[in-house]
Structure formats: C-alpha cells, structure tokens
Amino acid sequence: MNTHNSIAEGMGLKIVIVVQARMSSNRLPGKVMLPVLGKSLLYRMIERLKQVRHEVQLVVATSHKGDDDIIEYESLKMGVPCFRGDLNNLLDRHYQAAKAFEADIVLKIPSDCPLIDPQIVDNVLDVFMADGGKYDYVSNLHPATYPDGNDVEVMTIDCLKRAWQVAVKPLELEHTTPYIWENAGRFRIGNVSWETGLDYSMSHRFTIDYEADYQFIKRVFEELYEANPEFTCTDIINLLEAKPGIYNINAQYAGVNWYRHHLDELKTITAEQTKIPAV
C-alpha cells in the first residue's frame, strides 16, 4: 500500500483539496480557461494535482454566477466534482464545499497555481499528518520560501469552521484563511520551508495574474511537458537557469501579490513580503 495513503487511511481521515476558480478576474478575465497545449489552464492544474500521492478528493469550487457555468462543465469533463457557492465570500464557499464532501482535512490551493508541484503538496501534507492532531493549520506560506505559485494550505475542518464562524473582515472572507494565520494564538500553526534552504518566494513567479504570467506558464509547459508531463519545481528552476529569457517573461511581477493591498490590516505580513508592480 502507498505509505501516503496508509497514513490517511490509518487515521480514518478524508482529505479534500478545494480549488477555487471563477471566470471573473480584474486583471486577466477567464484566466483559468486560457489554453495551454490544447487544454485549459484549469485542466493542466487538475492534471498535476491528480499526481498527489496522498489519497485525496479533488473538488473545484466556483460561484453560482452564470459566467462560471463553463468552470463546472470543465470540472465534470475532468471527472472532478464542482461545488457552487458565493461569488465573493470565498471563506464561505470553501467551508461549504469542504462540508458538502465530508472533509476531515481541507486543502486550499488557488486556481492561479497551474504549475504547482504535487510533490510540494505531499510534503506539506506529510508535515500535517506526521504528528496526528498536533496542528490545526500548516502551510508553506508563513513565511513563504517556495517560488510563488506553489501555495499549499492544509487545515482541519474544525479549524476552517472556526474561521468561518467568526471571521468578518472583507479580506478574511475574500482570501479564506487570513483569520487563521493572523490569529496564531488561537490555532496550532505549522509552516513548511523549501528543503533546499533557498527562498525564491519574491524572485520567482509561477502564478498567473497578468498576461505576462500566462505567456510564462505557457512557455514552461511547451518546454517541459512533452518530455515529462510530471515535471517538477526543480525541473522549472533548471529550465529557467538554462534559458533565462523564459524567466524574464514575467520577472517584472516577481514578488507582486495580494498582500500589497492590505499591509495596514495584516499583522503578520511586512512590506518586504510584497511589492508594487512597476507597470
């Protein structure tokens, strides 16, 4: 039996990965449906998440808005169930999706991470599962060290429910988990750092929010996918070192993230953990 599977099964826990996706995006509308090698970015991301070695239930969570019908259709084509909920309250949508699929452990992996390395997902889950009951929440984001776009947050359903019950700030509802990691005294929180000892969180950008990000991600898939559909974060780093022109496609946005809009509200995030886009 796969050792990853046996850990979860031995503890009698159901692990649900919730991928939040919607067509509305201020900077790059419909980004999750942009094509890469004949399939959508959402398809490519789910394809990668299916490589996770832990036994998990994948769920795509979108909104009730008609524009997001295409997200549901795409999910079902991939054999992944789709949950539909509130458009703007992603904390509620995440919790309701996790509850609907009877999750004991919930993962938050945003749909703007189509290059996410499934090995990193497994690493974070391994830490969470290693000492059963030790943590309420484990991520690789506080502080972040992996290249941006490998975002993994793992929490118990009870942890997520507590946040859902008490969170009220708009940023807490929009971004799902800030209430948890901003209130470390109320939760048992762990963090996973990149085993290399490197910190590429502000220098390497594998996420999608701008047209340049799409061109970068598309190029990475074109370079690596045919030879190895299960290419890793290390494979991408090696590619960028061999072909720095690819790195430069979206380098101007490296380090740009949503934190920049909320520095006056967030207690645990500093100005050094985000930057304003140059253009």
Q: What is the pLDDT along the chain (279 residues), one digit of tens a residue?
A: 344 554 555 568 999 999 999 999 888 999 999 999 999 999 999 999 999 999 999 999 999 999 999 999 999 999 999 999 999 999 999 999 999 999 999 999 999 999 999 999 999 999 999 987 899 999 999 999 999 999 999 999 999 999 999 999 999 999 999 999 999 999 999 999 999 999 999 999 999 999 999 999 999 999 999 999 999 999 999 999 999 999 999 999 999 999 999 999 999 999 999 999 876
Q: Domain range for residue 33? A: 3-191
Q: Is residue 229 part of a domain?
A: no
Number of domains in the chain: 1
Computed over its alpha carbons, how large is the radius of gyration of the chain?
18
C-beta neighbour count of 32 within 10 angstroms: 28
Q: What is the reported pLDDT for 247? A: 98
73: domain CATH number is 3.90.550.10
Q: What is the reported pLDDT for 55? A: 96
Q: Is residue 128 part of a domain?
A: yes
Q: Is residue 68 part of a domain?
A: yes
Q: Is residue 266 part of a domain?
A: no
Distance, in Å, from the CA atom of 163 to the CA atom of 178, rounded to the nearest integer, reads: 9
Q: Is residue 30 part of a domain?
A: yes
Nearest one of 65, 61, 48 to 232, comparing CA atoms: 48
Q: What is the reported pLDDT for 6? A: 43
Q: Is residue 212 part of a domain?
A: no
Q: Is residue 117 part of a domain?
A: yes
**What are the structure tokens assigned to 179, written together?**
């209430």
φ, ψ at 13 (rounded to 5°): -115, 140
Q: Is residue 265 part of a domain?
A: no
Distance, in Å, from the CA atom of 146 to the CA atom of 153, rounded to the nearest integer, reads: 13
Q: What is the reported pLDDT for 1? A: 31
Q: What is the reported pLDDT for 278? A: 78
Q: What is the reported pLDDT for 10? A: 54
